Structure 1
Amino acid sequence: MTGDRHLLVMLPPHDQRTASWPARLESAVPAIRVVRPETREETIEALGRADAAYGTLPAELLPHAGRLRWLQSPQAGPPPGFYYPELVRHPVRVTNMRDTYTDHVAAHTMALVLALARGLPRYMRDQLAPLWAPDWSPDSVIPLSEIRALIVGTGAVGAEVGRLLAAFGTEVDGIDARQTVAPPGFTRLHRPERLEACLPEADLVIVTLPHTPHTEGLVNAERLAMMKPTACLVNVGRGQTVRLDALTEALDKGRLRAAALDVFETEPLPADHPLWRRPDVLITPHVAGAGPHADERRLAVLVDNAKRFTEGKPLVNEVEKANWY
Structure 2
Amino acid sequence: MGPVTTLTVLCGDLKPPGMRDVEAAAEVRYTGEAGLAEALRGADALFVYDFLSTAVPGAWHAADRVRWLHIASAGVDPVLFPALRESDVVLTNSRGVFDDAIAEYVLGVVLTFAKDFARSLDLQRESRWQHRESERIAGKDVLVVGTGPIGRAIARLLRAAGMRVTGAGRRARTGDPDFGTVHASGELPRHLPWADYVVAVAPLTEKTKGLFDARAFAAMKPSARFINVGRGELVVTADLITALKTERIAGAALDVFETEPLPPENPLWTMENVLVSPHMSGDYLGWRDTLGEVFAENFRRWLAGEPLLNVVDKKLGYVPGAV
Tell me which interval the TM-score lies in, with the shorter structure as reference length. Answer: 0.7 to 0.9
Q: Distance in 2 between matches of 1:221 and 1:71?
A: 37
| Aligned residue runs from structure 1 range 165-244, under 5 A | 165-177=158-170, 184-244=177-237
Matched, 1:258 2:251: yes
Q: How far has the Cα of 1:307 moved from its partner?
A: 2.6
1:267 and 2:260 are equivalent in the alignment:
yes
The Cα of 1:128 is off from its aligned counterpart by: 3.4
Residue 313 of structure 2 aligns to which amino acid in structure 1? E
Deviations 1:77-127, CA, capped at 9 Å, x for gaps: 25x542222222222111111111212111111111110111122223333
Note the alpha carbon deviations across 1:55-97, whole angstroms, 9 max, x for none. 166234323222211111122225x542222222222111111
Deviation at 1:156, TM superposition (A): 1.4
Aligned-partner Cα distance in 1 for 2:178–2:32: 50
TM-score by length of 1: 0.86
Amino acid at match of 1:18: P
Q: Hey, which of these two has a bigger chunk of helix by percent?
A: 1
Q: 1:26 offset after TM fit, Å?
A: 4.4
Give distance in 2, aligned partners of 1:269 and 1:41. Answer: 24
1:280 aligns with 2:278: no
CA distance in 2, matches of 1:5, 1:220: 47
Taking the aligned partners of 1:147 and 1:281, their CA distance within structure 2 comes to: 20
Encode CA deviations 1:29-73: one digit per residue, 9 max, x unaligned. xxx413124488986565333221211662343232222111111
Q: Say if 1:319 and 1:289 are closer, same or farther in 2 by CA, change over 3 A.
A: same
Give me the CA root mean square deviation: 2.6
- What percent of counterpart residues are identical? 34
Contact map agreement 1:159 1:183 (CA 8 A) in 2: no
Answer yes or no: is 1:93 the counterpart of 2:112. Answer: no
CA distance in 2, matches of 1:190, 1:54: 35
Partner of 1:67: 65
TM-score of the superposed pair, with normalisation by structure 2: 0.87
Counterpart of 2:60, as a letter, is L
Q: Does structure 1 retain, via aligned residues, the 8 Å contact 2:171–2:182? A: no
Runs of 5+ consecutive residues of structure 1 not aligned to the other structure? none
2:109 aligned with 1:116: no
SS in structure 2 opposite 1:144? coil
State the 1:134 CA deviation: 2.1
1:122-160: CA deviation from partner (whole Å, max 9, x where unpaired): 223333344332223xxxx33222221100112111111
Select which of 304, 308, 313 maps to 1:320.
313
* Partner SS state of residue 143, structure 2: strand
The SS at the match of 2:307 is coil
Q: Please give the alpha-carbon distance, in whole angstroms, between the structure 2 residues aligned to 1:82 and 1:225.
A: 33
Which sections of structure 2, spanning at least 5 residues, go unmatched? Answer: 319-323
Following the alignment from structure 1 to structure 2, what is the Cα–Cα distance between the partners of residues 45 and 294?
29
